[in-house]
Amino acid sequence: MPLTRIPSGIPGLDEMIEGGFPFPSVILVAGSAGTGKTTFGLKFLCEGAANHEQGLYITTLSEPTQWMLRFASQLDFMRPEYFGEEIQYLDLGAKMRDMTSAQLLEAIEEKIAEVIPQRIVIDPITVFGTMLKGDYRSFLFDITTRLKNWNATTVLTGEVSPGEMYPAEIAYAVDAIVLLLQSEEAGTRRKYLEIIKMRGTNHQSGKQSIDITGANGITVLKARF
Amino acid sequence: MPLTRIPSGIPGLDEMIEGGFPFPSVILVAGSAGTGKTTFGLKFLCEGAANHEQGLYITTLSEPTQWMLRFASQLDFMRPEYFGEEIQYLDLGAKMRDMTSAQLLEAIEEKIAEVIPQRIVIDPITVFGTMLKGDYRSFLFDITTRLKNWNATTVLTGEVSPGEMYPAEIAYAVDAIVLLLQSEEAGTRRKYLEIIKMRGTNHQSGKQSIDITGANGITVLKARF
Amino acid sequence: MPLTRIPSGIPGLDEMIEGGFPFPSVILVAGSAGTGKTTFGLKFLCEGAANHEQGLYITTLSEPTQWMLRFASQLDFMRPEYFGEEIQYLDLGAKMRDMTSAQLLEAIEEKIAEVIPQRIVIDPITVFGTMLKGDYRSFLFDITTRLKNWNATTVLTGEVSPGEMYPAEIAYAVDAIVLLLQSEEAGTRRKYLEIIKMRGTNHQSGKQSIDITGANGITVLKARF
Amino acid sequence: MPLTRIPSGIPGLDEMIEGGFPFPSVILVAGSAGTGKTTFGLKFLCEGAANHEQGLYITTLSEPTQWMLRFASQLDFMRPEYFGEEIQYLDLGAKMRDMTSAQLLEAIEEKIAEVIPQRIVIDPITVFGTMLKGDYRSFLFDITTRLKNWNATTVLTGEVSPGEMYPAEIAYAVDAIVLLLQSEEAGTRRKYLEIIKMRGTNHQSGKQSIDITGANGITVLKARF
Amino acid sequence: MPLTRIPSGIPGLDEMIEGGFPFPSVILVAGSAGTGKTTFGLKFLCEGAANHEQGLYITTLSEPTQWMLRFASQLDFMRPEYFGEEIQYLDLGAKMRDMTSAQLLEAIEEKIAEVIPQRIVIDPITVFGTMLKGDYRSFLFDITTRLKNWNATTVLTGEVSPGEMYPAEIAYAVDAIVLLLQSEEAGTRRKYLEIIKMRGTNHQSGKQSIDITGANGITVLKARF
Amino acid sequence: MPLTRIPSGIPGLDEMIEGGFPFPSVILVAGSAGTGKTTFGLKFLCEGAANHEQGLYITTLSEPTQWMLRFASQLDFMRPEYFGEEIQYLDLGAKMRDMTSAQLLEAIEEKIAEVIPQRIVIDPITVFGTMLKGDYRSFLFDITTRLKNWNATTVLTGEVSPGEMYPAEIAYAVDAIVLLLQSEEAGTRRKYLEIIKMRGTNHQSGKQSIDITGANGITVLKARF
């Protein structure tokens, strides 16, 4: 019985992965600063919203909702009418300072139980490493376990340092790893997407050139077969 | 007196190692994310199941059994009728959070005593490093010691960071080390298998190209003699 | 609705970023010793001052005001009449030794509330890492959160070690990252500016040659389109 | 007065070191997983056994004696009749978990006093680093001191990580360092032996190609003079 | 108003920095062992002494004054009559073992208040890192703050490990960084000087070849303009 | 007044350093395992002994005196009649386990006061790092301070890991650094000597080829002027 799949929202990506992300599954999207992780996550939610799927965007940055919306609204695909409707919002950043990791897990699950999303984004998951310190690895173990009990595909974004491929501390626990890469070539920065693993999926391997614009988000430029 | 050997289940591998894995023995299969460690372990168990050998799959991920089965069932060789019969399942992930390393060892041995497997897989062993921390090296010492008291061949999978060869903290204690490697060549990812050590075995050395598909699992493409 | 933007004060930079820095926003300007971070920050404030915008310069170095002014006055664009008027000054260095991170945050917000600046510079933010140690990452999380509650564009300068790109511990929390780079080429040092990320902005990518002089501060020499 | 020397048992090695290992002395044989350290140590003991010298093999792995013998018996030179006679066996692994470093030293010396060996192997010495942690460096200092009070040549094997030359923490205290190396050349693994130091001996320097087989153990292929 | 400048005493250097070191200022002179840091500092003081400026040499090495003088007197420019007159001496090394960092700061300021020097050398500043450990970064912050309250130009020498550029922990706090470098080229060691930053100064950039002799100290061989 | 100098005992070295080591002074001789540090130190003492200077050899290895003598006697220049006469011996290794660093310093000074040596060797100084841990850097500071109060030239040998140049933690405190190097070239090991610093001395720079034999110890093969 083939896996159920949902479109990723990234033009050119679904052809690389047998038609879309497994549903349900937990996907890690990793990259250094400025590689388009948030754009990836928002497009993933908007794709669902356009198909009347419920989405949940969990941010770990602590910033006013208006601040976030002001920047997100520069993305042409990010329709304001989705927000608060097809795309619900949970600001975990504001809560992170005063909560234990158990309370954080509970807050996430409470929101999921309330929204019943088919698509979830936690952006970025790596901030927990900054704030939880000692408990971080256990927390990653627990949160991926919990997410696998819901009927949703979750995108976890992971911010890495330049030169680091992906946050190794969570790689073993996710069902798929998608890298967003940039490298300097002939004085300019080229951007790439690469799928490192995807359970149950004969995925294309190797780096694929991508384009990132405010109009279309991320597009996989040429998929080699 | 030559060593007893059992087929690994990986086409092309047995020719490299005098006919198969020593029985009993403890084998480390190491690689970074997406190199096929779980596929290796499952094929190893299915090979036994096809020959009516008892297998035991111990996962250290904490995920619902159905979640795991859904992905595993995408592998053509993973026959559903094996599961719960020739291949027994122990979810250590769910227990890991509340158990001491002594209790974990006991839980493993209890299950082995109940199942009496000829083939065991622990996938991945490196998760214990995430959860046990201070006790991890002692635990690895103890678990390999315990496994050597059973009449079985055990495959321990080890997840390493990109660029790392194998988890050095367990290398000394196992009877064999098989690497699953990937490298970027001309914009694509090539995959390889390499045998670093195998006690009592004149094994082939050097990297061998492999192919990984959902249909056949891992195949060693060309074995150089 | 397009983002409000303000001129950066760096000739050639605004053309790379759709006309200027988003207002409000938090910008990280990172570079190793001697790459022009302070010159960048002061020019940013003078640009505002020339347009009758209120500026606030927060230094984390502990040095006499006259000491700082003596060096700053060597920059031709740094008009003495701005100082104490359009450009207010807060010496956090002197206070840092005796204050908790909570008190530091309060001191910063008190000054912002008093001055009501449109442009803020904290130079360099990385000194807090030296003095706060254990609390540093939480402090960075908190200070960026607080700054996002004010109607200002803030430039945080970050001093990195040679070979390091930017201080990764704050990268996730800022809206933009501008690198000031130097590399040794044919026995001399070439200087560059590169934009790594800027939320809501289709920015130019890749290294741009810059010139630094006391007369003009930093100038982007050739912007490739 | 020239040093007394004993044959190493490795064909081609004695010619490189003025005829054999100094007697008494402490020799470190270092290499990563799969380079032949155990084979080296067993051949060294068998060489002595063939000449009616008493040997003592101390293993720090904790594995059943039968498990070890099963693999060792695959080496053609490892005659079963030596075992328990010319080659005595001490399983330190089983004791390591419950003993202090002082008790371990005592256990080793007690066995030496009982066996009165001319040749001793401790295989691998580096496991103590895993189990003793804080006391490890002191323990290495103490064990080499104690071994120098006996009239024996001791081979300590040391397992290093790939890319590491030898365990630096013990190098200063031994009388000789022999490296077992492997490098990847043209897709295959080449194996080498190199003598880094040997007190009182004009030894040959540089890497020498070696061959490792179950039939002959390690052979130095071409010794350059 | 241009900065007041004083000659550095290093032939060829002043032309690179608009005529000399800013007065007052704090200058870091960094280099690995044997690059001429002490020679630089002594020449800087002798240049002042020849112009009847008061100098203060603070050593953090603990060695008898005669021991130091014996080596310093090998430098032709180091006139014995300066010593104890134009060049005063403070042996901080002897005191460092029993003093807190607060007491060390007090001892330095007391001596400065007594001598009223225009030129100060602390050689090497990095020894405090060895002896103060936990307090080192705070101490560096405090000592540069204190020095900026005196009307003097201070040279802090910093010893780095081979391959390290400068001690990053103090770089942000000084007004200028001068590197003394050596590299191996064609079997010999070439020596260079490079100015990494100098506040308020349009300095020359890139490595300049230098010569070091006992007769003349350090000379910049060819300054490229 | 030129420095008093004593011959180093290493043929070819004195020509590189204005005739010999400064007397008194503290010399660091650094190198990885097998580079000839002990041979250097013993030859230095024998050179003195031949000129009726008193020598003191302090070993930090804990090994029976006979063990050490057996190996040392393989060096042709090491005349047995020197031992116990012109070359006195202090075995610090045996005492190191039970003594505080203050007691160790006292034991060293007591022996120096008893022997009144002109030449001292401490071989290797880096073992204290293994045994003293937390106090190591302070101990190095103290021991070099103490040695500078005696009228002797001291050679401290320092064992470094492969690829490390010298032990940076002591480099600032010694008067000279001599490196013993080995590199792999065309499959063999070439050995070199290089002088990194020598106070008060116009020394030759760059690597010099050396030869090491039991007959002559270390010889500098070709000194380039």
pLDDT in tens, B113-163: 999 999 999 999 999 988 886 688 899 999 999 999 999 999 999 999 998
Residue E202 touches chain C, beta carbons under 8 Å = yes
Answer yes or no: do F202 and E214 touch at CB < 8 A. Answer: yes
On whether the CB atoms of residues C118 and C53 are closer than 8 A, the answer is: yes
Chains B & D: contacts with CB separation below 8 Å: 77
Is the model's pLDDT at F94 over the cut of 90?
no
Cβ neighbours around B52 below 10 Å, total: 8
Cα–Cα distance list, C49 to C19, C52, C150, C218, F138 (Å) = 18, 5, 18, 17, 53
- Which residues of A fall within a CB distance of 8 Å from C206? 184, 187-189
Answer yes or no: do C34 and E177 touch at CB < 8 A. Answer: yes
**3-state DSSP percent of chain D in helix, strand and coil, to 5:** 30, 30, 40
- When pLDDT is cut at 50, 70 and 90, the band that residue F225 belongs to is very low
C148: nearest CB among A64, A159, A213: A64
- Which residues of A fall within a CB distance of 8 Å from C173? 61
Chains A and F in direct contact, meaning 3 or more beta-carbon pairs closer than 8 angstroms: no
Task: Pick the residue from chain F with its C-alpha nearest to E185.
Answer: F206
- Which residues of E fall within a CB distance of 8 Å from C130? 137-138, 141, 169
Query: Residue C133: what pLDDT?
Result: 65
Answer yes or no: do A184 and C166 touch at CB < 8 A. Answer: no
Query: Residue D67: what pLDDT?
Result: 94
Tracing tokens 């995925």 back to the chain, one arrives at A203
- When pLDDT is cut at 50, 70 and 90, the band that residue D133 belongs to is low
Cα–Cα distance list, E181 to A104, A132, E42, E168, F202 (Å) = 52, 42, 18, 16, 18
Burial of F95 (0-12, 13-18, 19+ CB in 10 A): middle
Task: Pick the residue from chain D with its C-alpha nearest to F80.
Answer: D1
CA dihedral (C36, C41, C42, C44) positive or negative: positive
Please provide the size of chain E in residues: 225
Is the model's pLDDT at B223 over the cut of 90?
no
**Torsions phi, psi for F22 (to 5 deg):** -55, 140
- The residue among B35, B37, B59, B61 with the most chain A CBs within 10 A of its CB, best to mutate, is B61
F152, amino acid identity: A
Describe the strand order of the beta sheet including E25-31 as a list of residue ranges: E87-91, E55-59, E119-123, E153-159, E25-31, E176-185, E188-198, E208-213, E217-220
The encoded tokens of residue A15 equal 């052809």
Query: Residue B9: what pLDDT?
Result: 97
Chains A and B in direct contact, meaning 3 or more beta-carbon pairs closer than 8 angstroms: yes
- Which residues of B fall within a CB distance of 8 Å from D93? 141, 145
Residue A23 touches chain B, beta carbons under 8 Å = no
Query: Residue F133: what pLDDT?
Result: 65
Question: How close, in Å, is residue D65 to chain F by CA atoms?
Answer: 33
- With a pLDDT cut of 90, the percent of chain A lying above it is 82
Nearest of F70, F67, F71, F110 to residue F90 by alpha carbon: F110
On whether the CB atoms of residues F58 and F123 are closer than 8 A, the answer is: yes
Chains B and F in direct contact, meaning 3 or more beta-carbon pairs closer than 8 angstroms: no
Cα–Cα distance list, E154 to B88, E43, E145 (Å) = 74, 13, 12
Cα–Cα distance list, B126 to A133, A146, B158, C44, D144 (Å) = 20, 21, 5, 50, 33
CA distance F154 to F174: 10
Nearest of A3, A15, A40 to residue A211 by alpha carbon: A40
How many degrees, rounded to 5, is the angle at CA B29 between CA B24 and CA B34? 150
Question: How close, in Å, is residue D154 to chain B by CA atoms?
Answer: 20
- Which residues of C fall within a CB distance of 8 Å from E172? 33, 61, 124, 126-127, 159
CA distance D164 to D181: 10
Answer yes or no: do B173 and D61 touch at CB < 8 A. Answer: yes
Pairing of strands D176-185, D188-198: antiparallel
Answer yes or no: do B201 and D74 touch at CB < 8 A. Answer: yes
Spans of chain E, pLDDT less than 50:
223-225
D177, amino acid identity: I
- Which residues of F fall within a CB distance of 8 Å from E130? 137-138, 141, 169
Task: Pick the residue from chain B with its C-alpha nearest to A168.
Answer: B161
Burial of A94 (0-12, 13-18, 19+ CB in 10 A): middle
The encoded tokens of residue A34 equal 């400025």
Query: Residue D134: what pLDDT?
Result: 67
**Torsions phi, psi for E191 (to 5 deg):** -115, 145
Q: Give C213's DSSP letter.
A: E
Answer yes or no: do C34 and E224 touch at CB < 8 A. Answer: no
- The residue among F137, F141, F146, F185 with the most chain E CBs within 10 A of its CB, best to mutate, is F141
How many degrees, rounded to 5, is the angle at CA D159 between CA D154 and CA D162? 145
- Which residues of E fall within a CB distance of 8 Å from F135? none
Query: Residue C225: what pLDDT?
Result: 44
CA dihedral (D173, D179, D183, D188) positive or negative: negative
Answer yes or no: do F166 and E33 touch at CB < 8 A. Answer: yes
The whole-number average pLDDT for the span B77-94 is 93
On whether the CB atoms of residues C56 and C121 are closer than 8 A, the answer is: yes
User: Average pLDDT of chain B?
Assistant: 93
Residue F207, classed as helix, strand or coil, is coil
Q: Give F82's DSSP letter.
A: G
- Which residues of C fall within a CB distance of 8 Å from A71? 3, 22, 175, 199-200
- The residue among D29, D59, D61 with the most chain B CBs within 10 A of its CB, best to mutate, is D61
Our measurement of the distance from residue B85's CA atom to the centroid of its chain's CA atoms, rounded to an integer in Å, reads: 19
Any chains having at least 3 CB pairs less than 8 A from chain D are: B, F
F130: nearest CB among D24, D141, D197: D141
CA distance C49 to C31: 25
Query: Residue D88: what pLDDT?
Result: 97
Task: Pick the residue from chain F with its C-alpha nearest to D151.
Answer: F67
For residue D167, say if its preceding peptide bond is cis, omega within 30 degrees of 0: no
Q: Which residues pair with A193 in a beta bridge?
A: A180, A208
Answer yes or no: do E197 and C64 touch at CB < 8 A. Answer: no
CA distance D52 to D46: 9
CA distance D15 to C178: 63
For residue E124, say if its preceding peptide bond is cis, omega within 30 degrees of 0: yes
On whether the CB atoms of residues F31 and F215 are closer than 8 A, the answer is: no
- Which residues of A fall within a CB distance of 8 Å from C149? 64
Residue A39 touches chain C, beta carbons under 8 Å = no
Pairing of strands C217-220, D87-91: unpaired
Any chains having at least 3 CB pairs less than 8 A from chain B are: A, D
On whether the CB atoms of residues D141 and F131 are closer than 8 A, the answer is: yes
pTM: 0.94
- When pLDDT is cut at 50, 70 and 90, the band that residue B86 belongs to is very high
On whether the CB atoms of residues B14 and B20 are closer than 8 A, the answer is: yes
CA distance C214 to C74: 6
Chains D & F: contacts with CB separation below 8 Å: 79
A67, amino acid identity: W
Question: How close, in Å, is residue F172 to chain D by CA atoms?
Answer: 23
Residue C61 touches chain A, beta carbons under 8 Å = no
For residue C24, say if its preceding peptide bond is cis, omega within 30 degrees of 0: yes
- Which residues of E fall within a CB distance of 8 Å from F197? 33-34
Residue D41 parent element (H or E): helix D37-50
Answer yes or no: do F33 and D197 touch at CB < 8 A. Answer: yes
Q: Which residues pair with C29 in a beta bridge?
A: C157, C178
Q: Could you report the per-residue pLDDT of D43-93, keeping only the tens digit for each?
A: 999 999 999 999 999 999 989 989 999 999 999 999 999 999 999 999 998
Q: Give D90's DSSP letter.
A: E
Query: Residue B184: what pLDDT?
Result: 81
Question: How close, in Å, is residue E204 to chain F by CA atoms?
Answer: 28
Q: Per residue of chain C (225 residues), what is the pLDDT tens digit? A: 799 999 999 999 999 999 999 999 999 999 999 999 999 999 999 999 999 999 999 999 989 989 999 999 999 999 999 999 999 999 998 888 888 999 999 999 999 999 999 999 999 999 998 888 668 989 999 999 999 999 999 999 999 999 899 999 999 999 999 999 998 877 678 999 999 999 999 999 999 999 999 888 999 996 444
Query: Residue B53: what pLDDT?
Result: 98
Residue B189 touches chain D, beta carbons under 8 Å = no
Please provide the size of chain A in residues: 225
- C-alpha neighbours within 13 Å on the C-beta side of residue B1: 5
Residue D22 touches chain F, beta carbons under 8 Å = yes
Nearest of C195, C174, C173, C193 to residue C183 by alpha carbon: C193
How many degrees, rounded to 5, is the angle at CA C52 between CA C46 and CA C55? 50
- The residue among C59, C65, C71 with the most chain E CBs within 10 A of its CB, best to mutate, is C71
Chains A & B: contacts with CB separation below 8 Å: 78
Q: Could you report the per-residue pLDDT of D140-192, keeping only the tens digit for each?
A: 999 999 999 999 999 999 999 998 999 999 999 999 999 999 988 776 789 99
Q: Which residues pair with F220 in a beta bridge?
A: F210
